[in-house]
C-alpha cells in the first residue's frame, strides 16, 4: 500500500462513506440513494457488473472499502447516462462511478490490468501530449499495452477494421510521426498541472 | 341555478368527489348552508370510478349511495354541477365566488328515461372509463350519477343527432340553446376539494405508456376489473383483447421521483395489493401477479392486508424499481428489465399486462386555485394566504386514501363552520 | 452576412484524417447550404471525452473544457459554442453546469486557467449542431434547400446516448426521441419511428477496452435496423458512427453474421438532399458504402 | 293531527302510460287502496305535476301521499313533500324497465304494477309523519376524554366553534406523549428539521380559555345518558367526585407504548443502552436541559454510533407481538437520528428497516435525513446483544444479502408501536375478562346495557369499519379520535381530533332536533314500544348494534332515542312485535305483504316476496332496471331499512297468505361486513337460520325462505338470483298453503 493509501485508511477507517463524500467526484450524493435499483437495471453493461451502482452505494454505507475500490465494476461504465436520467433521486450516478474509478486508480487499489483503466490512462496521456487526441497512437498504444507479442496478435485480429479505416482516410499512419497539436501547448500543460495540484491538495493526494 | 341564494353564512364547497361531498354533508348536517360546486356532470369524483376499495374489497358506490341519499334528503346542500369556480374574491367571512356553468343542454325536466340516448348514434370517448371505450354523446355518466339527468356532449351540438335527441324527448328537457352561465355566490368560507388526477403516465418514458398498448395505469385497471366497465369486468388487455393472466404492477410510477412527483402518493402500494386480488378473482390459482416495489407502504392495519397478499402463492414481490419496459414484437408482451436489489438478481420478465401504480397529482395545482392560497412543492394546497378562510380538503391537500380524505374533509368542514359561526354571531343571526 | 454565426468546436475526431473527418466535410457542406457560418475556436483542445475521468480526475477535466470557453469568449464573443461531437458537447455542457452550480469550482478552474493566461467568465452556451438545426432553424427551414429528396430510402434514426442523455434536445424524450425521424422525413426519406434500438448504447468509449461487450450492443443496433427494413442508419454522434460501422466486420467474423449496414451522419443526408455531391457529403469516408445514398447523390449531384 | 286523507298519483310518463293501463291502476288505488283521491298525470315530476300534488296537500288537506311513478331513489327533489307521509310505488325501474315489452308479458307486468299500487296505498296508510322528539336533550357541551394532543385539539377546536368543553385528563398535566417529545416532525414544508412541538402553547391556550374546563388527575367513574344529555361522574384522584352534564363525547384516550421488555431478543429490558423511541425522547429532553449532547445511558460515555431498529415488535406475524404497523415510527426514527446529526454530524446514525414508510410529503423528511447523513440499511434485525460499552446489532442485510451483518452501536433505539388505550373490550364476556391477567381499565365507564366502552374493531383500536365513514361510531355521540382510533402520527391526530369534534357537535345538534345521525341522517322517526305487550325478553337490548337500548328498573327496554340510528334491528328482534317507528313498522311492511293480490293455486302464477335492504340490494335492483335487465314478474319487492329490521312475522305472514317463497337480500356480514348498521345483516342471517323449524311446522320446504348477501354492484347478479329462485319455486311447486289464507 502506498503512503497515499495508508493516509486515507488512517483518516477514514471508521467511515468509508465520509471518505467517499470528501474525495470522490460527486461523492456527496451517495447517501441520497434509496436503493430502488433503477440504475442497476438500466446499465447496458449491467450483466458485467459484479456490483451494480445501487449495490456499490450500499457497500459504501456498509463500509466495504476494499471490495468497492478494488472492484472492476465502475470501470464497466460506458457513460451512456441511462442511470442518471432515470434515477428518482437525481444522483449523478455516471459521474460517481467515474469518480470512484478515478479515486481507486489514484489510490492504486483499482484492479491491475483492468482494460478500461489502462485505456483511460493511455487516452489521457495521449491527449496530454498535444492537447488533442492522436487516434493512431491511441489505437497502436492500446493494442500494444501488453507488450509487442500480444499487441501484434491483437492488432492482427483487428487488421480489417484498421485497414478499412485507413482506406476511408479516417485513420492516418502519418499521425504516428506528429499529428494535430495545440499552439499553446505550454499554457495547456501549465493549466492542467495547476488544476491537478489544486485537486490533489483538496482531496488529500498531496505527496 | 338562478335560485341559488347564498350569504356570508354559506359555506362554498368546490369539488363533488368524496371529500367535497363529505365536507358539504358534514357541515350541512350541523345545520349550515352549503353550496357544492362540481365541474363534471355528476357528483362522485374518482372514487365512483373505482371497482373496489382496499382493504375491505368493498364497493365504493356503496358509500356513494349513502352520501347521495344524504344529499337528496338535506335541503341545506345545494348542488351545482358542470360548474367551475373561476374567481374567489374577498376575505374571511365575506367572499364572492364567480362560478362558470357549462351548458348541459338538458334541463331539470329530464326524467332520465334514456330516450335521447337511444335516438343518437354519435359517440365520444367515455370520460368515466378513462376513455377506454366510447359512449353515446347523449348520456347518463353512470348508473349512480347524481343529478340523475342526462348530458349532451358538446360534440353533439350543431349536428343532426342533436335534433334527433331533442325530438326524442317528450318532456322538453333538451335545450340546445343552453349557453354558458356565470354566477356570483357569496360565502363566508370556502372548502377547496378539487381532488387529484393521475400523473401523466406517458411522461414516465422508460415504461412506454402510450407506446406499448399493454402498459396501462392503475386507474384504468380499475375500470377493466369493474363488471360495469368497458370490458364487462374481464381483464382484457388492450393490444389484442386477450385475457391478462400474468400481470405486473409497477410501484412508484411517477411518485417518489424527482423527475416526476417528489412525494409518495401513499395509496399506490395498497391499490396494487388490492389489484392482485382482481387477478385472483379473474383467474384463481392460474393468475400471476408480480409487484415491483421500493418499499411497501401498508400503514397501520393495512399491514394485515399486505401479510395476507404475501401469503398468496400467485403473488410475487420483487424489490426493484423497473428500469425499462420493452415489447415483444410478436406477442405484444411487455418485457420488464431491471434488478432485484435484494441480493442482486437481474431479470427480464415477460408479462401479459403491466399496470403502472400511477401517482397522484393535484387536479388543480395550488398555483391555479383562483384565490390567494399557499401550496407545497407538489402543488397541494396547504392553507389560505394570511388569515383567509379557504380550506383545502381531501386530495387537494395531500395524497390521501379515501379514509384519510374523509377524515381531512370532516376537519375542513369544522374549520369552515368556525368561520360562518363567527359571522353569524357578529350578524346576530345565531 | 451569414444567417447564423457560431463558435465551432469540431473536436479531435473531426480533424483532417481522423475517424470522423467525413463528418466535418459534410457539416461544412451542410452549413454552407443553410448559410450558417462556423468559425473554429482558435487553438481549441480535447474535451477529455468519456474516459478522461480515469486519469484526469475532476478539476483537470473541467479546466480543459473551460479553456475552450475562455478562448471562445475571447475570440468569438457572444457566439454560442457549437460542437458536432456528442462527447465534446456533453463534456462542455457538464462543465458549464458544474461551474454554474459551484462558485468554488469556478474559482479553482480560473486559478488553473490563469496558468495559461486565460479567464473564463461563465458566459458561454454550449450547443450541439442538432440543436442549432432544430431550435434555431426548425424543420421548415431545413426543408427549404431540399433539391434532391432522399426518396425511397428507409432510414433508422439511431440517436445513441450522449446527444440524448442527460441533456438531450429540448422537447424530446430520452427513451424515444423523434428528431432524427422528423429530419429524415424532412429530407424526403422514410423514417422508421418504431426502431427500438434508437437510444441503445453502442459501448461508447469501451469499444476498445471491452470489445466483446460492446460488440454485443452493436449487434443489437444493427440487427434491429435490418428487422425494420432499413437501408441505412443515421446518427448524430461520431463515436456511435464509428463503432457501429467499423465493428460490423468483426461481428461478422466472430458470429457469422453478414452485416453490411451503412451508418451515416445526418449532415451527410442533408448535404445529399440539398444537392451536394458524393464528395461534399463525405460519402467517400465509409467502410460500408451507403450505396443507395450514393446513387441518390449521383443523381442530384450533377447540378 | 288532522284527519287522514290519502291521495294516490299515477304517473304516465317515461312509458308508463304506454306500457301500463293507468285507468286500471287508478281503479286499484281507489277500490283496493282506498285512496281518497286518485289522479293521473302525463308527467308527474314536472313542475305542473308537482304543483298539482302540492295543491292537493294545501287545498284538499291531503295528509298521506302514494306516488306511483319511478323509484324512490329517482326524482327525490321533485317529490319533496315534507309535511305529509309519503310512499312510492316503483313502477318504472321496478316494473316496466325490468319486464319485457311484449304482448305475452303485458298481463304479468300489469299485475306487478297493480300490486305495487296496492302496496303503496297500504303502506302509506300505516305511516305517520315523524315529528321528531325534540325533548331528548339539549345539552351542547362537549366532554373530551384525554388531554394529549388529540384531546387538546378537540377542546380548542370546539371552543373555536363556539361550544363549551369539559376536558378530563388522567394524569397530573396536559400534553400527553406530545409533551414528552423533545421536538416533533414538521407538519408542513419545509420538511427538513425537527420543530418545536407547540404543546406548551396548546396547554397555555386551554388554560386561558374560559370555555374549557379542565379536570386533571381525573377519570370517568360513570357515564350515563345519551347525546344531548350525557352525565359524567368524574372521579378526581384527591377523592372528590364531580358531575358534569354534556351533550357529546370525544374520546382521545391515546396510546401506550409497547413494552420493550417483551423484546429481550432485541435487547429490550436487558441494557439501559437499549431504549424505545419514547426513551430516546426522554434522553434528548434531559440532554437539552443539561445543554449537552445525549450520552450513553449505561455509563455516560460519548455516543458515536446509534442504531435505530424499525418495526421492533411490530408487523409481527408470529402472534407474539403487534401485528400492525404504527405508521409514525419511520419518520420518528429519522427525526431522532437528526437529534444527533444536528448537534454533531460525526455521530453515525443507522436506520435498519425493511420498508421505509414515510408516505406523502414525508418523503421530503426522509431525503432531509439522508442529506444530514443518516444512513438507511434495508435489513432484518436478528438480535441485539448488549455489551459493556454499547451493543452489537446483528442483522441480515437484505441488499448485500449478508446474513451476518453487524453494527456496533453505543445506543440502540427500538421503534416500537402504539398500543391503544381503548378500555375494556365489550365483545369479551365479563366472565372471560375477569380471568385475564391484566384487567383492562374502562375509559368511559358507560352504564350502557352493552358494555362500558366503545366497541373495538381490530387489534384493540376503536376505529370505524367503514372506508367512506371513518367517524362512524357504534355509540352515537361518542367519537374516538387520535391513536386510540388507529395508529397515527401527530399531524394526523390533530386532523382526526378536529374531524371528531365536528361529529360531536353534529351529535348535539341532531339530539336537539330529535334527528338521526348517519347513515339515516335527518330521519325524525324513532322507535316506540308498547309496554303492555313486552315480555322483557331483552332481545332488543342485546341486539341493538348501537347500544341504544338499556333496561329500566323494571327490566323493560329503555330506548335512548338520541343514541338510536333508526335501523329497526330492535323491531326485527322483537318476538311480540311491540316495537315500531312512525313511518316504519311491522304494520307498514306487513300490510304491504298482505296487500298483494294472491293468485289462486291453479293460476300457475307464483308470488315471491323479496325483502331488499334499501342500502345495497334495492339500488342494485333499480340499476338493473335502468340497464333493462329483466327478472321474473312474480317477484314483489319491499325495501327494508336493514335486513336486521326484518321481523320473522313478515315471513310467516307471507307464507301463510300464500306466497310461494320469500327472498331476503342484505349486505355482507362477518369480519368484512358491509352492513351499514354493523350487525343487522348478520342478525337477520342468524334469525333466518332458525326459520327452518317454523317452515317445518307449516309443512313447507326449507327452500321457501332464502337469504342472500348482495352488494350494490350486483346489478346483473340480483336479477339472476331472482330468476334462479323463481325457477326453483317452479321446480318445487306452488305453496301448499295457497288458498288457505
Q: Are residues C225 and C116 in the same domain?
A: no
d(CA D341, CA D335): 10
Question: What average pLDDT does range B67-84 have in this prediction?
Answer: 96
Question: Domain map of chain D by residue range?
Answer: 1-129, 142-254+421-513, 258-417, 528-564, 598-741
Pick one of 1.10.1060, 3.90.550, 1.20.140, 3.40.50 as the CATH number of D598-741. 3.40.50
The fraction of chain B above a pLDDT of 90, given in percent, is 97
What grid cell was written down for D99?
Answer: 319486464
d(CA C238, CA C246): 12
- Architecture category of domain D258-417 in CATH: 3-Layer(bba) Sandwich (3.50)
Flag whether residue C200 sits within 8 Å of chain B, measured between CB atoms: no
| Cis peptide upstream of residue D519 (ω within 30 degrees of 0) | yes
- Architecture category of domain A3-111 in CATH: Orthogonal Bundle (1.10)
Question: What average pLDDT does range B277-286 have in this prediction?
Answer: 98
**How high is the mean pLDDT of chain B?**
96
Decide if B344 and A55 are in contact by the 8 Å CB cutoff: yes
Give residue A3's pLDDT band: very low, low, confident or very high (50, 70, 90).
very low
| Cis peptide upstream of residue C196 (ω within 30 degrees of 0) | no
d(CA C6, CA C81): 6
d(CA A145, CA A117): 11
Q: Are residues C158 and C293 in the same domain?
A: yes
C271-288 in b/e burial notation, b at 16+ Cβ within 10 A? bbbbbbbeebbbbebbbb
The fraction of chain C above a pLDDT of 70, given in percent, is 99
Residue C27 pLDDT exceeds 90: yes
d(CA D421, CA D175): 16
CA distance A95 to chain B (A): 18
Tell me which fold the domain B10-102+180-195+363-427 belongs to. Answer: FAD/NAD(P)-binding domain (3.50.50)
Residues of chain A with C-beta less than 8 angstroms from the C-beta of B345? none
Q: Are residues C287 and C242 in the same domain?
A: yes
Question: What average pLDDT does range D125-133 have in this prediction?
Answer: 93
Q: Are residues C52 and C107 in the same domain?
A: yes
Residues of chain B with C-beta less than 8 angstroms from the C-beta of C176? 205, 208, 211
Give residue D281's pLDDT band: very low, low, confident or very high (50, 70, 90).
very high
pLDDT, residue C303, reads: 46
Question: What average pLDDT does range D651-666 have in this prediction?
Answer: 96
Give residue A8's pLDDT band: very low, low, confident or very high (50, 70, 90).
very low
> Looking at A71-80, A159-168, D577-586, which range is the least confident one?
A159-168
Decide if D377 and A32 are in contact by the 8 Å CB cutoff: no
pLDDT, residue B7, reads: 94
Q: What residue spans in chain B does CATH classification 3.50.50.60 cover?
A: 10-102+180-195+363-427, 199-360
Flag whether residue C175 sits within 8 Å of chain B, measured between CB atoms: yes
The residues that bridge with B210 in the sheet, in sequence order, are none
pLDDT, residue C63, reads: 97
CATH dotted code for D1-129:
3.40.50
What's the CATH code of the domain at C82?
1.20.1050.140
CA angle D545, D547, D551 (to 5 degrees): 130
ipTM score: 0.95
A:68-97 residues touching chain B, CB 8 A cutoff: 82, 85-86, 88-90
Give residue C264's pLDDT band: very low, low, confident or very high (50, 70, 90).
very high
Q: Which of A40, A51, A88 is closest, CB to CB, to B256?
A: A88
Q: CA of C281: how far to CAs of B367, B430, C213, in Å?
A: 52, 87, 32
CATH dotted code for B199-360:
3.50.50.60
Question: Which residue, among B203, B337, B341, would best test binding to A if mutated, counting the most A CBs under 10 Å from its CB?
Answer: B341
Closest CA to D738 of D602, D584, D587: D602
Q: Are residues C229 and C259 in the same domain?
A: yes
Q: Which of D348, D371, D399 is closest, CB to CB, to A35?
A: D399
pLDDT, residue C1, reads: 58
CA distance B337 to chain C (A): 14
Question: Which residue, among B209, B324, B329, B334, would best test binding to C if mutated, counting the most C CBs under 10 Å from its CB?
Answer: B329
Residue A1 pLDDT exceeds 50: no
CA distance C194 to chain B (A): 9
Q: What residue spans in chain A does CATH classification 1.10.1060.10 cover?
A: 3-111
Instruction: Give every CB contact of residue D238 below 8 A, 6+ residues apart in sequence.
Output: D217
Decide if B29 and D521 are in contact by the 8 Å CB cutoff: yes
Per the CB < 8 A criterion, the answer to whether A62 and A35 are in contact is no
Question: What average pLDDT does range D623-646 have in this prediction?
Answer: 97
Are D142-254+421-513 and D258-417 equal in CATH topology? Answer: yes
Q: Are residues C75 and C119 in the same domain?
A: yes
Helix (H, G, I), strand (E, B) or coil at B149: coil
CA distance B200 to chain C (A): 14
CATH dotted code for D142-254+421-513:
3.50.50.60
D482-508 pLDDT per residue, tens: 999 999 999 999 999 999 999 999 999
3-state SS record for chain C: CCCEEEEEECCHHHCCCCCCHHHHHHHHHHHHHHCEEEEECCCCCCCCCCCCHHHHCCHHHHHHHHHHHHHHHHHCCCCCEEECCHHHHHHHHHHHHHHHHCHHHHHHHHHHHHCCCCCCCCCCCEEEHHHHHHHHHCHHHHHCCCCCCCCCCEEEECCCCCCCCCCCCCCCCCCCCCHHHHHHHHCCCEECCCCCCCCCCCCCCHHHHCHHHHHHHHHHHHHHHHHCCCCEEEECCHHHHHHHHHCHHHHHHHHCCCCCCCEEEHHHHHHHHCCCCCCCCCHHHCCCCCHHHHHHHHHHCCC
The C-alpha cell 468559425 sits at C39
Question: What average pLDDT does range A9-14 have in this prediction?
Answer: 34
D70-92 pLDDT per residue, tens: 999 999 999 999 999 999 999 99
D185-202 in b/e burial notation, b at 16+ Cβ within 10 A? bbbeeebeebeebebeeb
Domain boundary among C81, C104, C129: C129
How many C-alpha atoms does B349 have within 13 Å on its Cβ side? 28
Q: Which residue did the predictor score with more confidence, D389 or D128? A: D128
Residues of chain B with C-beta less than 8 angstroms from the C-beta of A48? none
Question: Which residue, among A34, A35, A37, would best test binding to B if mutated, counting the most B CBs under 10 Å from its CB?
Answer: A37
> Looking at C203-212, D237-246, D256-265, D347-356, which range is the least confident one?
C203-212
CA dihedral B97, B102, B108, B109 (to 10 degrees): 160
Residues of chain D with C-beta less than 8 angstroms from the C-beta of A64? 400
Domain boundary among C80, C103, C129: C129
pLDDT, residue D593, reads: 98
> Looking at A73-82, C294-303, D314-323, which range is the least confident one?
C294-303
d(CA B202, CA B206): 9
Element (H, E) at A196: helix A185-202
Residue D2 pLDDT exceeds 70: no
Q: Do chains C and D touch (3 or more CB pairs under 8 A)?
A: no
Q: Which residue did the predictor score with more confidence, C204 or A12? A: C204
pLDDT, residue A12, reads: 28
The fraction of chain D above a pLDDT of 70, given in percent, is 99
C24 in a domain, yes or no?
Answer: yes
Give residue B310's pLDDT band: very low, low, confident or very high (50, 70, 90).
very high
Give residue B3's pLDDT band: very low, low, confident or very high (50, 70, 90).
low
Give residue A13's pLDDT band: very low, low, confident or very high (50, 70, 90).
very low
Question: What average pLDDT does range D598-610 have in this prediction?
Answer: 93
Residues of chain B with C-beta less than 8 angstroms from the C-beta of A34? 256, 294
Amino acid at each position: 500500500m502506498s503512503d497515499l493509501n495508508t493516509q486515507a485508511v488512517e483518516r477514514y477507517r471508521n467511515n468509508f462513506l465520509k471518505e467517499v463524500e470528501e474525495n470522490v467526484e460527486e461523492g456527496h450524493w451517495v447517501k441520497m440513494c434509496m436503493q430502488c435499483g433503477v440504475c442497476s437495471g438500466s446499465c447496458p453493461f449491467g450483466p458485467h457488473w459484479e456490483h451494480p451502482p445501487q449495490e456499490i452505494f450500499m457497500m459504501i454505507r456498509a463500509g466495504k472499502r476494499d471490495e468497492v475500490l478494488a472492484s472492476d465494476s465502475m470501470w464497466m461504465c460506458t457513460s451512456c447516462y441511462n442511470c442518471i436520467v432515470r434515477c428518482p433521486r437525481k444522483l449523478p450516478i455516471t459521474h460517481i462511478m467515474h469518480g470512484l474509478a478515478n479515486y481507486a486508480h489514484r489510490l492504486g487499489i483499482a484492479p491491475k490490468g483492468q482494460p478500461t483503466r489502462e485505456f483511460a490512462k493511455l487516452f489521457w496521456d495521449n491527449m496530454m501530449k498535444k492537447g488533442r487526441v492522436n487516434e493512431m497512437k491511441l489505437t497502436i498504444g492500446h493494442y500494444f499495452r501488453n507488450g509487442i507479442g500480444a499487441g501484434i496478435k491483437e492488432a492482427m485480429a483487428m487488421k480489417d477494421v484498421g485497414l478499412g479505416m485507413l482506406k476511408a482516410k479516417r485513420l492516418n499512419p502519418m499521425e504516428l510521426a506528429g499529428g494535430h497539436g495545440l499552439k499553446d501547448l505550454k499554457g495547456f500543460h501549465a493549466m492542467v498541472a495547476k488544476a491537478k495540484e489544486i485537486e490533489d491538495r483538496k482531496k488529500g493526494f498531496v505527496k | 341555478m338562478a335560485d341559488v341564494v347564498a350569504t356570508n353564512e354559506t359555506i362554498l364547497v368546490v369539488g363533488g368527489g368524496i371529500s367535497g361531498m363529505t365536507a358539504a354533508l358534514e357541515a350541512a348536517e350541523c345545520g349550515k348552508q352549503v353550496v357544492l360546486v362540481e365541474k363534471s356532470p355528476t357528483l362522485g369524483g374518482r372514487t365512483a370510478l373505482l371497482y373496489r376499495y382496499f382493504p375491505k374489497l368493498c364497493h365504493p358506490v356503496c358509500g356513494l349511495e349513502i352520501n347521495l341519499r344524504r344529499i337528496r334528503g338535506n335541503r341545506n346542500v345545494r348542488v351545482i354541477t358542470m360548474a367551475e369556480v373561476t374567481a374567489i374574491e374577498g376575505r374571511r367571512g365575506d367572499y364572492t365566488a364567480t362560478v362558470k356553468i357549462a351548458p348541459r343542454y338538458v334541463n331539470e325536466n329530464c326524467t332520465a328515461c334514456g330516450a335521447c340516448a337511444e335516438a343518437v348514434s354519435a359517440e365520444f370517448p367515455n370520460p368515466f372509463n378513462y376513455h377506454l371505450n366510447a359512449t353515446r354523446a347523449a348520456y347518463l355518466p353512470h348508473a349512480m350519477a347524481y343529478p340523475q339527468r342526462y348530458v349532451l356532449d358538446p360534440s353533439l351540438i350543431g349536428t343532426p343527432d342533436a335534433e334527433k335527441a331533442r325530438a326524442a324527448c317528450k318532456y322538453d328537457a333538451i335545450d340546445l340553446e343552453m349557453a354558458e352561465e356565470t354566477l356570483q355566490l357569496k360565502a363566508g368560507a370556502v372548502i377547496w376539494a378539487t381532488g387529484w388526477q393521475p400523473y401523466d403516465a406517458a411522461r414516465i418514458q422508460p415504461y412506454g405508456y402510450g407506446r406499448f398498448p399493454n402498459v396501462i395505469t392503475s386507474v384504468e385497471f380499475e375500470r377493466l376489473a369493474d363488471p360495469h366497465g368497458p370490458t364487462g369486468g374481464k381483464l382484457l388487455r388492450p393490444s389484442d383483447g386477450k385475457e391478462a393472466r400474468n400481470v405486473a404492477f409497477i410501484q412508484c410510477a411517477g411518485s417518489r421521483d424527482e423527475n416526476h412527483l417528489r412525494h409518495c402518493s401513499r395509496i399506490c402500494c395498497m391499490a396494487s395489493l388490492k389489484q392482485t386480488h382482481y387477478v385472483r378473482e379473474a383467474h384463481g390459482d392460474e393468475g400471476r401477479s408480480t409487484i415491483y416495489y421500493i418499499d411497501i407502504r401498508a400503514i397501520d392495519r393495512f399491514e394485515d392486508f399486505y401479510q395476507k397478499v404475501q401469503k398468496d402463492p400467485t403473488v410475487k414481490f420483487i424489490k426493484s424499481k423497473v428500469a425499462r419496459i420493452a415489447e415483444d414484437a410478436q406477442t405484444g408482451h411487455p418485457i420488464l428489465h431491471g434488478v432485484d436489489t435484494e441480493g442482486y438478481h437481474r431479470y427480464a420478465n415477460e408479462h401479459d399486462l403491466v399496470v403502472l401504480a400511477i401517482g397522484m397529482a393535484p387536479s388543480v395545482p395550488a398555483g391555479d386555485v383562483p384565490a390567494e392560497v399557499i401550496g407545497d412543492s407538489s402543488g397541494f394546497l396547504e392553507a389560505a394566504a394570511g388569515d383567509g378562510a379557504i380550506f383545502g380538503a381531501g386530495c387537494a391537500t395531500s395524497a390521501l386514501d379515501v379514509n384519510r380524505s374523509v377524515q381531512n374533509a370532516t376537519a375542513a368542514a369544522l374549520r369552515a363552520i368556525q368561520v360562518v359561526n363567527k359571522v353569524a354571531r357578529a350578524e346576530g343571526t345565531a | 452576412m451569414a444567417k447564423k454565426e457560431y463558435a465551432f468546436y469540431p473536436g479531435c475526431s473531426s480533424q483532417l484524417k481522423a475517424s470522423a473527418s467525413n463528418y466535418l466535410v459534410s457539416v461544412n457542406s451542410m452549413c454552407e447550404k443553410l448559410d450558417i457560418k462556423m468559425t473554429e475556436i482558435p487553438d481549441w483542445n480535447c474535451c477529455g471525452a468519456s474516459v478522461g475521468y480515469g486519469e484526469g480526475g475532476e478539476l483537470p477535466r473541467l479546466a480543459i473544457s473551460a479553456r475552450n470557453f475562455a478562448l471562445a469568449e475571447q475570440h468569438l464573443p457572444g457566439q454560442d459554442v457549437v460542437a458536432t461531437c456528442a462527447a465534446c458537447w456533453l463534456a462542455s455542457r457538464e462543465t458549464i453546469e458544474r461551474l454554474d452550480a459551484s462558485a468554488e469550482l469556478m474559482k479553482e478552474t480560473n486559478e488553473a486557467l490563469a496558468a495559461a493566461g486565460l479567464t473564463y467568465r461563465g458566459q458561454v452556451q454550449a450547443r450541439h449542431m442538432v440543436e442549432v438545426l432544430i431550435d434555431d432553424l426548425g424543420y421548415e427551414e431545413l426543408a427549404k434547400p431540399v433539391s434532391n429528396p432522399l426518396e425511397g430510402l428507409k432510414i433508422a434514426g439511431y440517436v445513441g446516448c450522449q446527444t440524448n442523455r442527460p441533456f438531450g434536445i429540448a422537447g424530446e424524450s430520452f427513451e424515444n426521441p423523434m428528431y432524427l425521424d422528423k429530419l429524415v422525413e424532412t429530407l424526403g426519406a422514410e423514417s422508421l419511428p418504431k426502431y427500438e434500438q434508437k437510444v441503445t448504447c453502442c459501448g461508447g468509449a469501451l469499444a476498445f477496452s471491452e470489445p466483446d461487450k460492446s460488440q454485443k450492443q452493436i449487434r443489437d443496433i444493427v440487427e434491429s435496423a435490418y428487422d425494420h427494413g432499413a437501408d441505412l442508419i443515421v446518427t448524430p454522434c461520431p463515436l456511435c458512427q464509428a463503432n457501429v460501422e467499423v465493428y460490423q466486420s468483426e461481428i461478422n467474423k466472430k458470429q457469422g453474421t453478414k452485416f453490411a449496414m451503412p451508418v451515416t451522419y445526418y449532415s451527410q443526408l442533408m448535404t445529399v438532399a440539398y444537392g451536394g455531391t458524393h464528395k461534399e457529403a463525405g460519402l467517400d469516408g465509409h467502410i460500408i458504402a451507403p450505396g443507395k445514398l450514393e446513387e441518390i447523390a449521383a443523381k442530384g449531384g450533377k447540378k | 293531527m288532522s284527519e287522514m286523507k290519502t291521495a294516490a298519483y299515477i304517473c304516465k310518463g317515461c312509458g308508463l302510460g304506454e306500457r301500463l293501463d293507468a285507468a286500471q291502476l287508478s281503479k286499484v288505488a281507489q277500490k283496493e287502496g282506498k285512496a281518497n283521491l286518485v289522479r293521473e298525470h302525463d308527467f308527474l315530476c314536472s313542475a305542473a305535476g308537482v304543483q298539482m300534488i302540492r295543491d292537493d296537500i294545501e287545498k284538499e288537506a291531503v295528509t298521506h301521499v302514494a306516488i306511483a311513478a319511478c323509484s324512490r331513489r329517482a326524482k327525490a327533489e321533485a317529490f319533496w313533500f315534507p309535511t305529509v307521509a309519503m310512499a312510492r310505488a316503483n313502477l318504472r325501474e321496478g316494473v316496466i324497465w325490468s319486464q319485457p315489452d311484449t304482448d305475452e308479458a303485458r298481463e304479468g307486468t300489469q299485475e306487478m304494477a297493480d300490486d305495487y299500487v296496492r302496496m303503496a296505498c297500504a303502506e302509506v296508510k300505516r305511516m305517520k309523519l315523524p315529528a321528531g322528539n325534540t325533548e331528548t336533550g339539549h345539552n351542547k357541551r362537549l366532554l373530551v376524554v384525554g388531554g394529549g394532543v388529540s384531546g387538546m385539539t378537540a377542546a380548542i377546536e370546539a371552543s373555536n366553534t363556539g361550544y363549551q368543553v369539559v376536558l378530563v385528563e388522567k394524569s397530573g398535566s396536559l400534553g400527553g406523549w406530545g409533551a414528552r417529545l423533545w421536538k416533533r416532525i414538521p407538519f408542513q414544508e419545509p420538511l427538513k428539521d425537527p420543530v418545536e412541538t407547540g404543546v406548551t402553547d396548546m396547554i397555555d391556550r386551554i388554560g386561558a380559555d374560559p370555555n374549557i374546563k379542565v379536570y386533571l388527575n381525573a377519570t370517568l367513574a360513570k357515564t350515563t345518558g345519551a347525546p344531548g344529555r350525557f352525565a359524567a361522574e368524574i372521579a378526581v384522584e384527591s377523592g372528590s367526585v364531580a358531575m358534569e352534564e354534556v351533550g357529546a363525547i370525544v374520546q382521545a384516550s391515546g396510546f401506550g407504548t409497547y413494552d420493550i421488555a417483551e423484546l429481550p431478543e432485541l435487547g429490550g429490558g436487558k441494557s439501559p443502552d437499549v431504549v424505545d423511541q419514547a426513551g430516546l425522547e426522554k434522553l434528548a429532553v434531559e440532554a437539552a436541559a443539561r445543554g449537552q449532547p445525549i450520552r450513553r445511558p449505561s455509563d455516560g460515555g460519548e455516543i458515536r454510533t446509534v442504531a435505530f431498529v424499525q418495526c421492533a415488535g411490530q408487523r409481527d406475524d408470529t402472534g407474539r407481538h403487534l401485528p400492525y404497523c404504527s405508521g409514525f415510527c419511520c419518520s420518528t426514527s429519522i427525526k431522532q437520528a437528526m437529534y444527533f446529526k444536528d448537534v454533531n454530524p460525526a455521530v453515525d446514525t443507522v436506520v435498519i428497516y425493511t420498508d421505509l414508510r414515510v408516505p406523502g410529503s414525508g418523503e421530503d423528511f426522509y431525503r432531509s435525513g439522508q442529506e444530514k447523513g443518516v444512513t438507511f440499511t434495508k435489513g432484518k434485525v436478528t438480535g441485539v446483544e448488549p455489551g459493556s460499552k454499547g451493543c452489537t446489532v446483528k442483522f441480515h442485510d437484505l441488499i448485500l444479502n449478508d446474513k451476518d451483518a453487524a453494527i456496533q452501536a453505543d445506543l440502540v433505539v427500538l421503534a416500537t408501536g402504539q398500543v391503544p388505550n381503548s378500555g375494556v373490550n365489550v365483545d369479551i364476556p365479563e366472565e372471560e375478562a375477569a380471568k385475564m391477567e391484566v384487567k383492562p381499565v374502562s375509559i368511559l365507564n358507560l352504564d350502557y346495557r352493552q358494555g362500558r366502552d366503545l366497541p373495538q374493531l381490530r387489534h384493540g383500536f376503536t376505529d370505524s369499519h367503514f372506508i367512506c365513514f371513518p367517524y362512524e361510531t357504534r355509540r352515537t355521540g361518542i367519537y374516538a379520535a387520535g391513536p386510540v382510533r388507529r395508529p397515527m402520527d401527530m399531524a394526523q391526530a390533530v386532523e382526526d381530533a378536529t374531524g371528531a369534534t365536528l361529529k360531536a357537535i353534529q351529535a348535539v345538534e341532531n339530539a336537539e332536533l330529535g334527528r338521526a345521525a348517519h347513515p339515516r341522517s335527518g330521519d325524525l322517526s324513532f322507535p316506540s314500544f308498547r309496554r303492555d305487550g313486552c315480555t322483557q325478553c331483552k332481545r332488543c337490548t342485546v341486539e341493538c348494534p348501537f347500544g341504544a337500548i338499556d333496561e329500566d328498573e323494571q327490566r323493560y327496554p329503555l330506548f335512548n332515542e338520541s343514541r338510536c340510528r333508526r335501523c329497526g334491528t330492535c323491531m326485527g328482534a322483537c318476538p311480540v312485535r311491540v316495537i315500531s317507528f312512525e313511518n316504519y313498522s311491522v304494520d307498514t311492511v306487513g300490510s304491504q305483504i298482505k296487500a298483494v293480490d294472491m293468485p289462486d293455486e291453479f293460476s300457475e302464477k307464483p308470488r315471491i316476496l323479496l325483502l331488499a335492504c334499501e342500502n345495497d340490494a334495492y339500488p342494485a335492483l333499480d340499476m338493473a332496471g335502468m340497464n333493462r335487465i329483466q327478472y321474473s314478474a312474480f317477484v314483489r319487492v319491499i325495501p327494508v331499512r336493514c335486513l336486521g329490521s326484518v321481523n320473522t312475522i313478515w315471513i310467516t305472514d307471507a307464507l301463510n297468505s300464500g306466497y310461494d317463497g320469500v327472498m331476503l337480500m342484505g349486505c355482507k356480514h362477518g369480519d368484512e361486513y358491509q352492513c351499514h348498521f354493523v350487525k343487522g345483516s348478520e342478525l337477520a342471517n342468524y334469525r333466518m337460520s332458525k326459520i327452518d323449524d317454523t317452515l317445518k311446522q307449516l309443512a313447507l320446504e326449507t327452500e321457501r325462505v332464502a337469504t342472500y348477501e348482495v352488494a350494490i354492484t350486483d346489478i346483473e347478479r340480483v336479477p339472476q338470483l331472482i330468476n334462479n329462485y323463481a325457477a326453483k319455486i317452479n321446480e318445487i311447486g306452488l305453496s301448499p298453503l295457497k288458498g288457505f289464507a
